[in-house]
Structure 1
Amino acid sequence: MSAQLAAKRRRRFVATTDSNPDGPTFPNLAKDIVPSGTNQLWVSDITYGALPTRFI
């Protein structure tokens, strides 16, 4: 019996973001708002997390 040994290949890094520091900068529209209760100011962010088979 022969052992079928092979090197494990590393996955190549795939760039998912094209950073453009010269791109537009948007104003902070909520900088002067001080919320006094719930549902007065909503914010969001887009964050990607890498999993072995996909991005979330």
Structure 2
Amino acid sequence: MGTRKLYKLLQLFLVDQSKKIGRDRLFDVLLAHNLLIRRKKRQTIITNSLHRFKKYSNLVKNFIPNASNQLWVSDITYWKIEKQLCLYKSNYECLF
């Protein structure tokens, strides 16, 4: 049970006991006694490396450029806009 729900459930009991405590103070008390629930980090799985297709090796692992415009890299940014829908943006740049 989360702290906000616990706070709502405790309100009637606290009023009967003539105690007044705010939501933020309840968070502080629970934190001091290590009673807060840790949030699970939800991470979008964007790469499936266990596929049947050819996997290419890293061609720039030991590459040392000696002139400009020899190495280009790309990156994909994922934006989750709905539960099952993502937008993608490709970024290309020249490193050397």
TM-score, normalising length from structure 2?
0.29
Please say which structure displays the higher CA radius of gyration.
2
User: With CA pairs under 8 Å and 6+ residues apart, which has the higher RCO, 1 or 2?
Assistant: 2
Higher strand share: 2
Higher helix share: 2
Q: Under a length normalisation based on structure 1, what TM-score does the superposition of the two structures give?
A: 0.40
